[in-house]
Structure 1
């Protein structure tokens, strides 16, 4: 990502997304824009509204001043508001500003828990006028640097009328948690020292020896040196990585499928389906702990429309990102969508596991996600038909799959966790192994010693070099495989055939035969010898 700033402070005007600190304000609602809307205030990680009891021009003028408008307010709007009803807490009521305050929260009012006896039918609204300029208050934060994004970067703070960095002396998880919560996230997944990852800043180093307890509302509330009192260089700039949780919601949703919602800017919100596709769904599913996505949905299909904010738009993942916010996209909150365009995913609830698994092959112990956890599949009675369904669910074509009799050969040893499926009997055309007939009658014979193992093969031929590498890896695993005495001879034959398959191609007769065959197909033919006949 290009060097730049993701402004995460009181506000950013001109359509640039922001995250917020306590007592910041914004204008929201149906038909709202930068200068007109329902008044909302940020507090304790969430947005709330303001009751319109006694709401007047002085109150509206303070809101517009706080938002950076040069000419204050042109209207203070009471009910019925053209911007609709808000949601969440009512944070202020009976507001009585003088007009000289810089923050709405500084006005006389019933605040927070005292703001009672008001509902969202009486949400206050304003119309501002004049030009808008960015306004920063002491302690505002932004994330900057090489590779920075909405949720990660070098920490920069606004103090003494300037932006500056934070020295990493004593910098740790508690400090990062405070920064991330101040920016509207639920906490930090990591912290950085010594300008690691995001590079060195320039200009002032404003904070040093920051030592947060972890429950502070703002970084400037933490114990630290006086602002500007430091003995650091920019090689010690501190950084954070904030957590951006993802959840699946909506009608018919479950642990592995639903409407995609992310938490940012102090709230849960949906994802617009502009450019939404398979790679985006894969990233979301892997972020949730699944191996990938079997499908994706657009236009609020299947899981219905969400409510509240639409936080992400024009998401365009490569597919290898660790989190959806690492993908290319508009700034958070910069969207032109409705909830009829909410995006969804269906994650694969099946995977292959095992310490020896080979990348590119679906080879390992079969595990399924059931009742909120991953578990194995009993291999007693598990057949080629069952394997075909499992491999197709894993994204591999059939028939390009092979199973291993638990009483003949075990490559991966015993699995762990619950045994989730027993007595699997598939017809072969099921979309999921969970759609097959299941029986508990074989449960007594099912232990992790007989967990089902499969080999799922890609449909297309790989480059020769990759084929050879795969063959060599399988040879190594075969050498270590646990087999019965009766299978030792077959194992030796298979090893010999694999050696021939891995030999360099020349003009010899045997090699000419190999040229005409996919090496992986030859491997599959050899492994088929181990099947029960």
Structure 2
């Protein structure tokens, strides 16, 4: 009997160890403004390593956001843009990830562990909507400008400007992944005032905190009303989109600047610039000029933001390419840039 029990225990141990060896790898995002943004890293045999961005697209991002319980996917981004960068001795563990978008974990997706041609400059990145965020900017022209609201006792409440300063604004911009805080004296008008509760706290931030909730608090003595709601602005992150096409990976190119979308002039524009746009959007590669010539999208209206854009084709973002100062150009909307990419992934640029 004892022999039989020992045999069963040995078999059970082997089975458990086998299951553990085949258990899904862990995933984390490193270097972002919150846990739902950053350079993608996976764990293999107790070792954390990065993911090569070869083949990395929207479907892969959706799965990572789902696995981390990070809400909806927002956009893909180069993992090399997050700081501090991956250590030189850290391994790139997988490449050619190919998810359908319905998997529960990244480990369920097709992937290649035989990494042979990827450097950390090609690390994959991800940004998801952060469900843990306790601050937001609302009623502005974009997600990085607006009335400040904080989540308190499961209610969104406006913030009184009597307890607000530039140091607190720096923390909010960092927390939202919106670049640096801009000094502004603007107040909310009747159209942008809040209508709910008012958070009667003053934050004594140093400006170095990662989250607003890390700042020391004290009660405000002022009797604030919604006439005193705080409005703030952060420098826009560089975002772009393709509009007017059959899918979000084809259409007229628009870039976001100062809360307004505007087009790009096609002076000096070519294959290298197309490749950078498709790469930044996670849309694969650009289609050949002959194929592009068969399509034409309706010209834009409003601002023309960029002209004389020059890329090498190796940049991770159009922001890294040379161009004229924002808004300076000698173009009309008949010269708007059009881009067509090989993929047709969902729009995650806004």
Task: Give the TM-score range, shorter chain.
Answer: 0.3 to 0.5
Pick the structure with greater CA Rg.
1
- Higher RCO, 1 or 2 (CA under 8 Å, sep at least 6)? 2
TM-score of the two chains, using structure 1 as the length reference = 0.32
